[in-house]
Amino acid sequence: MNEQHRIVSSEREQLILVDRNDNELGFLSKAACHDGAGVLHRAFSLFLFNDDGKLLLQRRSGNKRLWPEFWSNSCCSHPRRGESMEVATRRRLRDELNFETALKHVYRFCYTADFGAAGAENESCHVYLGRAPSELHPNDSEIAAIRFVTAADFEDEMARFPERFTPWCKQEWGELRSRYREQLSRYCALT
């Protein structure tokens, strides 16, 4: 099967339930984790930059249950039952963007975000930084579009059109910018 059209996720996959300190509590289907107000589960978000310091953004597939067609950070997902974060992030990069890269863990936080009748996010999310090649061939079953932007252009667009972006992307970037500026500045130019 063509790597750019593979189905790589399912509402049946088992995610890792955690407490607010990220201690493992058990497992539940992806669907059940996102029903109603959501059940706290482990997740990750990746912010990837090319050699010119531009951030890779993805527009989520229209088939996504939560925030379809919204712009978001480079890659985000969940470790599955039995997966370490290292294995999960490597798998998801291959699944969505068809490449691998070294990642630097920056921080973890808990958040919730409601998407009305479709469900909600309730996640203990680990945030990473890394590099991406400028030429990518994303899996269109997961990603509708990609683009690279400067940090300044990204911030300007989020300020003018916040409704175009996922809530976690906006929140994580704000944290990276304010609390982890030194680590972020190793990947991109900040004004």
Active-site positions read: 76, 123
What are 116's two structure tokens?
Answer: 């009305």
Distance of CA 20 to the CA centre of its chain: 19
Query: Which positions ≥6 away from 45 have C-beta within 8 Å?
Result: 73, 75, 76, 125, 126, 127, 128, 168, 169, 172
Pairing of strands 103-114, 120-131: antiparallel
List Cβ<8 Å contacts ≥24 apart for 83-86.
85/42, 85/44, 85/126
- Buried b or exposed e, range 118-133, using 16+ CB within 10 angstroms: ebbbbbbbbbbbbebe
Among 124, 122, 127, residue whose Cα is nearest residue 33 = 122
- In DSSP terms, which residues pair with 6 in a beta bridge? none
